[in-house]
Amino acid sequence: MAIKTPQQYLASLNDGRVVYFDGKRVPDVTKHPVCKITNDWVAMDYIMNNDPKYQDLLTDLDSEGERVSFALQPQRSRDDLLRLREVVKLWARVCFGKPSGAKFVAKDGLNAVTVVAPRVDKKYGTDYAANVEAYRRHLQKNDLSFAMGLTDVKGDRSLRPSQQVQHKDFYVRIVEERPDGIIVSGAKTHISQAPACNEVLIAPCRAMQEDDAAYAVAFGVPLNTPGITMICAQPEIHEGATLFDHPISAAVYINDATIVFDNVFIPNERIFLKGEWEFAGEVAYMFANFHRLSAETYKAMELELFTGAATLMAEYNGIEKKAHVREKLTWLVMYTEAVETLGRAAVEQCVGEEGSDLVYPNPMIANICKFYFADNWHTATKYIQDIGGGIIVTAPSYNDYMNPETHDFMEKYFGGSARTSTENRLRMVKLVRDLTSCYEDVLTIHAEGSLEAQKLSILQLADFGRYKAAAMRAAGIADSNRNALFAELPKFPPDL
Ligand SMILES: Cc1cc2nc3c(=O)[nH]c(=O)nc-3n(C[C@H](O)[C@H](O)[C@H](O)COP(=O)(O)OP(=O)(O)OC[C@H]3O[C@@H](n4cnc5c(N)ncnc54)[C@H](O)[C@@H]3O)c2cc1C
């Protein structure tokens, strides 16, 4: 089959999956008014893959000459990673800063198990790399949408999986091993667009120790498998919400669902890690490397939109030449361009996996970029909300604007600069409201890993030897370890 049509993709979701939304079982996600928002957004992947204008970028021909999604190919060079960035940029620009989710998160998980599975096979003689490759072919040949289930519900964050007190299922675990596969239980949470995906790829979210071996498990599974229940995230919008009032959130409901596994059978050929606890952290970190790249690529596109909204909001309010506004706009431009530049640098300076032809983004730069944009997000939000004014949260709704009894009042009193219409100003106000929602704030801080996770990686990767050698040389302290870079430098100040 290779590339699916959007219609085939949508039809594939009516497969008996168990989904709950706002307290009720959803009999068919393709018919549900709010789940439909997610499905249509994910369908953009299929719309664009079928569009000849984008096929050269978004698709490749496989060894049998069949067209497959480029996002499902392994990353073997810097150019592959650069192309992946262009793919994510296109997805993000099309969908108002939110890349369509058919493969967006889980491609990074697939890349992670592709890199780590051979390491496990080398140590234990397992066959996981072959399983990963077979899974990749299965995804490609059937053009499946898949979600990434990394984050467990975790329980007490200070305890490892096997140390949890109330029960042992806070992290997904193997509860039974059989000759033909394993039975798993537990729950993953915040799993973006899962109810709109065919499959989910499950992997551990943290490093583990020997007594956590049952939790060191990675696998791929269809989301209509018996024993799987999905509970949808509470959306920002309600049924019937308009694009005028919610230009982004009525077009993109990411639906970061909770997935419960209640004794779910996973066949041997879909298992990519089973008890090799030393590799749990490696899968999690490798996913993070790839996913930070995805995050910073789409975030730069979202910031493009964000900075554009701040500029227009200033113009529509007639304050674009005021000193404090120019200062804020300058900061927003620097923020936007720095995220783009750092994200690109992580790819330009990518790392090759030893003993293979696979590459991954530079972990140090990728972590710095993710931390930088997440840590500064609330400043950006403060600036755009300041420029916009209180109307961002107090403007009446589209229905009031359309009601003949209130329309003229709104038209008259909600105007700003005479250089634009009242409608344009109201539209921009609503966009800023969506861009600065609590959902956006939390997404930016936590999705793709929380701030501390990046700091931890940065600290672990830091080249303190180089930093210290620079300082010791300047202070005139003899360096017994003689850092090679500084040992070779000419004497300074010179003896002239
Ligand atoms: C919108 C959105 C979409 C997402 N999409 C996905 C997805 O598709 N797939 C997926 O797998 N995940 C997804 N995530 C999950 C995301 O990766 C996590 O939210 C993130 O890793 C933080 O984990 P948490 O939410 O459990 O927060 P917590 O880990 O509970 O963090 C809360 C606070 O506790 C601190 N903390 C936690 N543990 C410790 C510790 N041991 N020591 C010290 N401090 C600690 C953290 O640093 C933080 O300050 C998504 C999240 C969001 C918000």
> Does ligand 1 come within 6 angstroms of the Cβ of 157?
yes
The rounded Å distance from CA 236 to ligand 1 centre is 20
Atom of ligand 1 nearest to the CA of 193: 8
Report whether residue 350 contacts ligand 1, using a CB cutoff of 6 Å.
no
What sections of 125-168 are H helices per DSSP?
128-142
The answer to whether residue 229 scores a pLDDT higher than 70 is yes
- Hey, what are 226's tokens? 């018996």
Residue 467 CA to ligand 1 centre (angstroms): 31
The domain locations on the chain are 6-278, 283-461
Q: Dihedral, CA atoms, 370, 375, 378, 380, nearest 10 degrees? A: -60
Instruction: Report whether residue 191 contacts ligand 1, using a CB cutoff of 6 Å.
Output: yes
Q: Which one is the CATH code of 6-278: 2.60.120.260, 1.10.10.10, 2.40.110.10, 1.20.1070.10?
A: 2.40.110.10
pLDDT band at 470; cut points 50, 70, 90: very high
Q: Does ligand 1 lie within 6 Å of residue 195's CB atom?
A: no
State the first-to-last Cα distance of the chain, in angstroms, to the nearest integer. Answer: 76
Rounded distance, CA 421 to CA 425, Å?
6
**So what's the pLDDT on residue 478?**
87
pLDDT above 70 (res 274): yes
Ligand 1 centroid, distance to 10 Cα (angstroms): 30
Give the pTM.
Answer: 0.95
452 lines ligand 1 (CB under 6 A): yes
Query: Residue 450 Cα, ligand 1 centroid: separation in angstroms?
Result: 5
pLDDT score, position 289: 87
149 CA: nearest ligand 1 atom: 11
What is the predicted pLDDT for the residue at 1? 62
Q: Is the CB–ligand 1 distance for residue 349 below 6 Å?
A: no
Probe ligand 1: pick from 252, 256, 299, 371, max atoms within 8 Å of CB? 256
Percent of the chain whose predicted confidence (pLDDT) is above 90: 93
Kind of pairing between the strands at 271-274 and 217-222: antiparallel
Q: What is the overall mean pLDDT for the chain? A: 96
257 CB within 6 A, ligand 1: no
- Using the mean position of ligand 1's atoms as its centre, give its distance from the Cα of residue 344 in Å: 25
Strand order across the beta sheet in which 173-178 lies: 24-25, 18-21, 228-231, 257-267, 181-191, 173-178
Q: Mind listing the pLDDT tens digit for each residue in 61-111?
A: 998 999 999 999 998 999 999 999 999 999 999 999 999 989 999 999 999
Check if 321 has its Cβ closer than 6 Å to any atom of ligand 1: no
Residue 235 Cβ < 6 Å to ligand 1: no
| C-alpha of residue 174 to centroid of ligand 1, in Å | 22
Q: In the prediction, which pLDDT does 479 show? A: 77
d(C-alpha 179, C-alpha 174), whole Å: 14
Please report which confidence band the pLDDT of residue 318 belongs to, taking 50, 70 and 90 as the band edges.
very high
Residue nearest (by alpha carbon) to ligand 1 atom 6: 191
Query: Would you identify the CATH topology of the domain 283-461?
Result: Butyryl-CoA Dehydrogenase, subunit A; domain 3 (1.20.140)
Q: What is the 3-state secondary structure (H, E, C) of 194-242?
A: HHHCCEEEECCCCCCCHHHHHHCEEEEEECCCCCEEEECCCCCCCCCCC
**What average pLDDT does range 149-153 have in this prediction?**
98
Say if residues 453 and 363 touch (Cβ distance below 8 Å).
no
Across residues 328-343, what is the average pLDDT?
Answer: 98
